[in-house]
Amino acid sequence: MHEEELRLIPTTPGVYLMKNAADQIIYVGKANSLRQRVRSYFQPAKNHPPRIARMVEQVAKVDFIATASELEALALECNLIKEHRPKYNVRLRDDKQYPWLKVTWQEPYPRVYIARRPQRDGARYFGPFTEAGALREILRLLRKIFPLRSCKRSLKPEERHRPCLNYHIGRCLAPCSGEVDVETYRQMIQEFCRIMEGHTDQLEAKLKQAMEAAAARQEYEEAAEYRDKLRALQKVVQRQTVVSAAPVDRDVFGLAMTEEGSFVQVLQIRRGKLIGKEGFFFTDLVGETEEFFRSFLLQYYDELDYIPKEVILPVLLPDQKAVAAWLAERKGQKVSLICPKRGEKFQLVRMAQENAELLLEGELARRKQAATAIRTALERLRDLLALPQLPRRIEAFDISHWQGEEPVAAMVVFHEGRPAPEAYRRFRIREITKSDDYAALQEAVSRRFLHGRKEEEEGVENPGFLPFPDLLVIDGGKGQLNAVCAALAELGWTGLPVISLAEKEELIYQRDGEDPLRLASDDPALHLLQHLRDEAHRFALTFHRARRQKQTFASALDRIKGIGPKRKKALLQKFGSLQQIREASLEELLAVEGMTVSAARAVLEGLEEME
């Protein structure tokens, strides 16, 4: 940027948005003085780290939004990063969807179940848990202690239903039949939440006292029930390690950074017990350590429902007071941000730091090993198929339908041997009305290459079908391969390497080959092709199921009085499936555009009758 442009930037707090030549936001930052912060990126003598230098080279324009305060800028930065997901900002979400434990606190009689994505819906979330099996085991054990309802009904205090079997065997308090009032049931749920937060001492003492009292009365069956509950609670407690003498809720962060990657380790400590831990690996990050870590904290706590009283940091943030104020505003009470230099808290940070370093080293080693294996597979594939070059971009096609109905095609792309989901494409087959995989493949492949050719001729800036593949893989046998080759020949595309992979015997058919290739089961080239084929199959099947689900969704809602096209569309956009609607509360349905109380009740009652 020129000095004249920099002078136009105000010195107030605010947020700056760096954009590339295509007007895409590549970085969002926050500053106390916008002019001073933005100018620091463009100083001629400034020796930036490689990551920042790469970003600055791409900056064509800088926009800014001035704010009234540093706290306001902090909140705006967080929202903009979440909305635009810039390339060079910390992006907290990765490919993994860790499970959370959801407590529908917004309902009179809350439910407890495992969810994959936390939402701002009034519920309380605990997690994320890196091991789904461990979470299910914890929930199973806690259900022995707390008779939680497991049904999906949206219960109202005034409604009455016949209690199910769980009530009769002592696994539910039957709020559906009015056997327990709202206050008593919510007290039990509150106790459940306290256990998830690590507060177990009080309940453990209570169960032990009740067991001993029942034994003293010679009511041994009742005493045995309390004993089983106590054992279940102790198993939950055993999963929690005591790491601090102070009974305080804390999150402790460790950070390891190299040029190859960074790793953040979070230790979740509740009342002095380590109840959970989470790790985040990042590559190609921009900014100094403190800036990176502040951005990480904003996204991390923006996703969480619970914020502890103390957050222990490995580095001192330049705007620590503003971050603490933002956290306090979200929590509703004071949150202490601490960067210790000695004592117990320092030892906790060092433990998190050591874990981060070990995990970073392991992750980098694993990635190097995987990269070597992928390179070997690509070279092996090139040699086996006599390809003119390494197949850096491989595309695979698959067809999915149900007894010939609603045929769809999927195209998946592997770049440098790894899935590239942003390049995946789906095709709704239009030109055939019956089950004909050959014709469906021909249509999908032809449309793919016609789109690519058009983009190439028009010089589209952000193409969706370029570049063309180095290798095309078809799910099927010789017949599918011949059909695709015929379609490509009509388009004048005769030099592209095309193969098909037959699923049963894993035979590889080539365009000009008479006999198929049969590779050993441990051949890396075969593993790569199988991964590609399976991903294409998964993607096609997911698309087909979504279309069928949409039809089923619409058909089911058509039978409910008061639900017209607009409400049906709004429900589909909000929930996506009938199952999600069945699990929704009345309040969640009322949040849908155009819904009234009577219409929401009709949906819940209508879907319940269809089960």
- Orientation angle between helical segments 132-145 and 220-238, nearest 10 degrees: 150
- Spatial distance between the Cα atoms of 166 and 148, rounded to a whole number of angstroms: 10
Average pLDDT over residues 586-607: 79
Domain 250-361, second-level architecture: 2-Layer Sandwich (3.30)
Q: What are phi and psi of 412, to 5 degrees?
A: -115, 155
Average pLDDT taken over every residue of the chain: 84
* pLDDT of 230 above 90: no
- Is 95's pLDDT higher than 50? no
Q: Average the pLDDT over each of 50-54, 128-132, 207-211, 465-469 and give the range with the smallest value.
A: 128-132
- 524 and 376 in contact (C-beta within 8 Å)? yes
φ/ψ of 126, rounded to 5, equals: -125, 130
The answer to whether residue 94 scores a pLDDT higher than 60 is: no
pLDDT at 150 over 50: yes
Q: What is 559-610's CATH number, 1.10.150.20, 3.40.50.880, 3.40.50.300, 3.30.70.270?
A: 1.10.150.20
DSSP H/E element including 510: strand 507-510
Confidence category of residue 251, pLDDT binned at 50, 70, 90: very high
**Rounded distance, CA 584 to CA 605, Å?**
12
Q: Once rounded to an integer, what is the mean pLDDT over residues 2-8?
A: 75
Q: Which CATH architecture does the domain made up of 393-546 adopt?
A: 2-Layer Sandwich (3.30)
User: Which H, E and C letters describe 281-320, residue by residue?
Assistant: EECCCCCCHHHHHHHHHHHHHHCCCCCCCEEECCCCCCCH
Per-residue pLDDT tens over the stretch 264-319: 999 988 777 777 788 889 886 656 788 888 888 988 888 676 788 999 999 999 88
Asked which of 150-159, 386-395, 449-458 is least confident by mean pLDDT, the reply is 150-159
Name the band, by pLDDT with cuts 50, 70 and 90, for residue 546. Answer: low
The residues that bridge with 507 in the sheet, in sequence order, are 502, 518
Residue 131, token pair as written in the block: 């091991």
pLDDT at 263: 92
Q: Indicate the domain borders of the chain.
A: 3-84, 133-241, 250-361, 393-546, 559-610
pLDDT band at 55; cut points 50, 70, 90: confident
Percent of the chain topping pLDDT 90: 33
Q: Which amino acid is at 343?
A: G
Its sign, for the CA torsion 137, 130, 366, 397, is positive
Would you state the pLDDT for residue 582?
Answer: 73
Mean pLDDT over 443-447 rounds to 95
Judge whether 250-361 and 559-610 match in fold. Answer: no
Is this model's pTM higher than 0.75 or not? no
- Confidence tier at 577 by pLDDT (50, 70, 90): low
> According to CATH, what is the number of the domain 3-84?
3.40.1440.10
- 310-312: strand order across its sheet: 241-242, 273-282, 262-270, 250-257, 310-312, 336-338
Lowest-confidence segment of 372-381, 537-546, 579-588 by average pLDDT: 579-588
pLDDT score at 384: 93
Asked if pLDDT for residue 404 goes beyond 60, the answer is no
Least confident interval from 201-205, 391-395, 481-485? 201-205
Least-confidence region, from 159-163, 259-263, 491-495, 517-521: 159-163
